[in-house]
């Protein structure tokens, strides 16, 4: 877009705003409606100028203090992450199918979460290895493949409802590089909710004939998949498009003839620059600022604008849906576009879209609202904006309704919960090992277009960060960690006066908490070996906590699997955690390593597959049996704790049979004879 004279005043004010010696106040969290794509393009430029000024001011101040030499500092270009560094039972089975079983381990009853494995009690549906695969799973001993439908791209997740299947497919490679695709961020501890950088295709199939699925709709989205939720036939999809719109914009001078670093040779970071060097550097910074400004104003933006193309409306402008419902974040996240796209999987009704000019974040959804918690770092203070979108099952739609702000950042979707109209959110401010790290629980209520704080508990576990959260009606449970596992219990019955009730400290920590019953928590995490100022992670830890008396929570049972290096997909992805309450069975993908001691990783991988446990309040944990899968030749015992090496990814139960799924095989066993082969299907 060419520079227009009517924007001179705006640009001048934005540039001058970068000359202040004091940091800007944190913006209000509200989203504001933009009248269309032209206004949004102007907003993107203005936001980029504000952020450029802010970052250049920080770089200049750092240089003047002698903190670092700007030419060799960090901050090249402007990417999306400039501001900051996942139960329910399955659907009813047909009369001829099993009488009971498990489905997706959804956070909220009635809100289905997209996953690459689904079942309807009779059939198992898999979106992996380049195909949609439908398997007739009942009777179990006759499990067989019914159809294989090739897909263009990389299948990611799916939904099943009646005779309709929705498949999410990643199209293309991130940044045109097919050799690397970031893994999905599910746990949120050391990853960001940014997607994999690829575009997303949504395919709708009619599977009334499971042997011959028919594609009936195709929706192409320019963003990468963050989350999918289904309420009835309404499918709500969150995608984000992170574009480095201005790659040539930098925070420090690039002129090699300007020797602004010479003063610090041999003493970088130890002294302030002499006045002559400071004057030279200031001029160089301002020259770079002017160059940045020209780059931002002249770089075309329209080619990377979010798009939605629907096969039901082949002649429609693919950008029209995004432009019709545009919102601007008051935080300068102008190089990312996050969209909530809704459609009916059974009817050819139009797609509805809401697009926010902002990075993505943790996604939580109830049956009628979707929340997006976006982490920011504004002038050194951690905070998150929380945006609320109204969704529904019939008719499907999405619309922005309100925003609020809370201190810190949400770990993942389980850090949020809506109850009786209010949102509860647990967040951590700072990063371990910073001594100022602290967590808090905030209650937000909608007042018009604002999510207003009506209650909070601050000062939770100073110096520790949140590792898992579970809300249950009027209660909340939070686990933090630095070297021990404090479990905190909270009373949220009065949203205006939430309060901490109890605390229990034990070694290790939980990464996922599941309600075993009204008074007990079933958790998975890591054991830890306390060494005074720090603790080593050890084996995988299963625990049952008794919270009958919330002021005095107690550990009822624990079971440690393997030593350091043992891992499970369920540690960082709740969809891999399969609890079968009717028979008290817990199924977990597991890699077991042995031989680790005193902080060293295990020396031998002794098992890879599915482990099944009996888990009861009365008796605790007992290993029920194992289903071995072929070992991944690349798997090791020295993986980082958030990167599971378990070859099995999912499992499900139908009556007295368990089905375990890896990338290569579907293996079926009777729960009463897990060691006896029954059915093994190749999946590649």
DSSP, residue by residue, 311-325: TTSTTS-TTHHHHHS
3-state secondary structure 199-232: EEEEEEEECCCCCCCEEEEEEEECCEEEEEEEEC
For the segment 249-259, the average pLDDT, to the nearest whole number, is 68
Per-residue pLDDT tens for 298-349? 888 766 778 899 998 887 777 766 677 788 877 665 568 899 999 999 999 9
Q: What single-letter DSSP state applies at residue 73? A: S
Tell me the C-alpha distance between 363 and 341, whole Å: 14
pLDDT of res. 530 = 64
Residue after which a domain boundary falls, among 259, 282, 298: 298
From 34-43, 259-268, 360-369, 500-509, the region with the lowest mean pLDDT: 259-268
pLDDT tens for each residue of 190-245: 898 989 989 999 999 999 999 999 999 999 999 999 999 999 999 999 999 876 77
Express each pLDDT in 151-169 by its tens digit. 999 999 999 999 999 999 9
- Residue 556 burial (10 A CB sphere; 0-12, 13-18, 19+): middle
Q: What is the pLDDT of residue 396?
A: 77
Whether 418 maps to a domain, the answer reads no
* Model pLDDT, residue 255: 60
Q: Report residue 110's pLDDT band, with 50, 70 and 90 as the boundaries.
A: very high
In this predicted structure, what is the pLDDT of residue 343? 95
Give the whole-number percent of the chain exceeding pLDDT 70. Answer: 81
Asked whether the predicted pLDDT for residue 447 surpasses 70, the reply is: yes
Q: What percent of the chain has pLDDT over 90?
A: 58
Question: Which of 298, 330, 358 is a domain's end point?
Answer: 298
Would 582 be classed as within a structural domain? yes
In a domain, 341, yes or no: no
Number of neighbouring beta carbons within 10 Å of residue 376: 23
Which of 82-86, 530-534, 664-668 is predicted with the least confidence, judged by mean pLDDT?
82-86
Quickly state the pLDDT bin for 668 (edges 50, 70, 90). Answer: very high
C-alpha 116/C-alpha 126 separation (Å) is 6
pLDDT for residue 327:
86
pLDDT tier for residue 181 given thresholds of 50, 70 and 90 = low
* Residue 483 belongs to a domain: no
92 pLDDT band (50/70/90 cuts)? Answer: very low
Q: Report, as an integer, the average pLDDT of 389-397.
A: 81
Provide the pLDDT for residue 15.
38
CA distances from 336 to 172, 317, 510 (A): 19, 21, 33
pLDDT at residue 264, as a whole number: 42
Q: Where in the sequence is the domain holding 599, given as residue range(s)? A: 562-684
β-pairing verdict for 326-329 and 352-357: parallel
pLDDT of residue 176: 41
C-alpha 450/C-alpha 437 separation (Å) is: 28
| Paired tokens of 399 | 């619309």
Q: Is the dihedral of CA 57, 62, 65, 70 positive or negative?
A: negative
Q: What is the pLDDT of residue 281?
A: 79
CB contact at 8 A, 243 and 80:
yes
Place of tokens 């004057």: 279
Better-predicted residue by pLDDT, 285 or 105 = 105
Least confident of 144-158, 264-278, 666-680: 264-278
Residue 280: CB atoms within 10 Å: 18
User: Does residue 606 form part of some domain?
Assistant: yes
Domains contained in the chain, number: 2
In a domain, 145, yes or no: no
Domain presence at residue 96: no
Among 225-234, 426-435, 460-469, which is the least confidently predicted range? 426-435
In a domain, 603, yes or no: yes
Q: Residue 26 above 60 pLDDT?
A: no
User: What would the mean pLDDT of 493-503 be, rounded to a whole number?
Assistant: 98
Cβ atoms 525, 467 nearer than 8 A: yes
Answer for the pair 668, 679: CB distance below 8 angstroms, yes or no: yes
CA 413 – CA 26 distance, rounded (Å): 25
The CA angle 462-471-613, to the nearest 5 degrees, is 100
* Rounded mean pLDDT, 436-457: 97
470 or 375, which is more confident? 470
């Amino acid at each position: 877009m060419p520079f227009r004279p009517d924007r001179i005043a705006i640009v001048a004010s934005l540039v001058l705003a970068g000359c202040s010696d004091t940091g800007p106040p944190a913006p209000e969290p509200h989203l504001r409606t933009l009248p269309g794509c032209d206004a949004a393009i102007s907003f993107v430029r203005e936001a980029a100028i504000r952020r450029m000024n802010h970052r250049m001011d920080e770089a200049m101040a750092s240089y003047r203090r002698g903190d670092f030499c700007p030419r060799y500092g960090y901050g090249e270009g402007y990417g999306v992450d400039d501001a900051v560094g996942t139960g329910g039972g399955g659907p009813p089975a047909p009369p001829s199918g099993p009488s009971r079983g498990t489905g997706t381990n959804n956070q909220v009853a009635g809100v289905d979460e997209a996953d690459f494995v689904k079942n309807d009690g009779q059939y198992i549906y898999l979106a992996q290895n380049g195909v949609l695969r439908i398997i007739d799973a009942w009777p179990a001993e006759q499990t067989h493949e019914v159809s294989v439908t090739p897909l263009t791209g990389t299948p990611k997740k799916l939904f099943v409802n009646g005779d309709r299947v929705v498949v999410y497919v990643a199209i293309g490679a991130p940044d045109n590089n097919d050799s690397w695709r970031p893994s999905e961020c599910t746990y949120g501890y050391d990853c960001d909710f940014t997607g994999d950088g690829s575009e997303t295709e949504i395919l709708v199939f009619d599977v009334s004939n499971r042997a011959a699925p028919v594609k009936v709709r195709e929706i192409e989205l320019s963003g990468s998949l963050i989350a999918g939720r289904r309420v009835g036939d309404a499918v709500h999809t969150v995608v984000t498009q992170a574009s480095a719109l201005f790659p040539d914009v930098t925070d420090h001078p690039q002129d090699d003839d300007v020797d602004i670093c010479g003063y610090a040779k041999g003493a970088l970071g130890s002294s302030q620059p002499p006045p002559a060097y400071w004057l030279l550097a200031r001029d160089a910074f301002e020259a770079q600022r002017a160059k940045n400004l020209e780059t931002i104003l002249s770089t075309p933006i329209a080619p990377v604008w979010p798009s939605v193309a629907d096969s039901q409306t082949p002649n429609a402008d693919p950008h029209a849906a995004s432009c019709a419902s545009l919102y601007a974040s008051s935080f300068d996240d102008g190089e990312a576009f996050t969209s909530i796209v809704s459609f009916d999987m059974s009817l050819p009704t139009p797609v509805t879209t809401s697009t926010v000019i902002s990075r993505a974040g943790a996604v939580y959804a109830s049956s009628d609202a979707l929340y997006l918690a976006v982490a920011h770092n504004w002038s050194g203070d951690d905070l998150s904006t929380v945006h609320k979108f109204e969704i529904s099952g019939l008719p499907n739609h999405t619309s922005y309704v309100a925003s609020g702000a809370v201190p810190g950042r949400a770990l993942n979707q389980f850090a949020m919960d809506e109850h009786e109209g209010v949102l509860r959110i647990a967040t951590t401010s700072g990063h371990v090992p910073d001594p100022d790290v602290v967590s808090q629980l905030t209650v937000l209520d909608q007042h018009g277009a604002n999510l207003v704080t009506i209650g909070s508990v601050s000062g939770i576990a100073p110096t520790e960060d949140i590792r898992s959260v579970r809300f249950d009606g009027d209660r909340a449970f939070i686990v933090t960690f630095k070297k021990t596992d404090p479990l905190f219990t909270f009373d949220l019955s009065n949203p205006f006066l939430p309060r901490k009730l109890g605390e229990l400290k034990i070694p290790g920590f939980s990464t996922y908490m599941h309600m075993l019953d009204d008074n007990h928590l079933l958790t998975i995490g890591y054991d830890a070996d306390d060494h005074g100022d720090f603790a080593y992670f050890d084996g995988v830890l299963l625990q049952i906590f008794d919270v009958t008396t919330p002021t005095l929570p107690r550990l009822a049972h624990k079971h440690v699997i393997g030593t350091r290096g043992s891992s499970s997909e369920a540690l960082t992805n709740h969809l891999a955690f399969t609890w079968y309450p009717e028979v008290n069975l817990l199924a977990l993908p597991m890699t077991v390593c042995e031989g680790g001691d005193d902080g060293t990783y295990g020396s031998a991988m002794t098992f890879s597959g599915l482990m099944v446990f009996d888990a009861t309040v009365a008796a605790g944990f007992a290993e029920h049996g194992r289903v071995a899968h072929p070992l991944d030749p690349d798997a090791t015992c020295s993986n980082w704790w958030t990167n599971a090496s378990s070859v099995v990814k999912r499992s499900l139960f139908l009556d007295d049979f368990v089905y375990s799924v890896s990338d290569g095989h579907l293996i079926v066993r009777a729960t009463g004879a897990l060691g006896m082969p029954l059915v093994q299907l190749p999946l590649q």
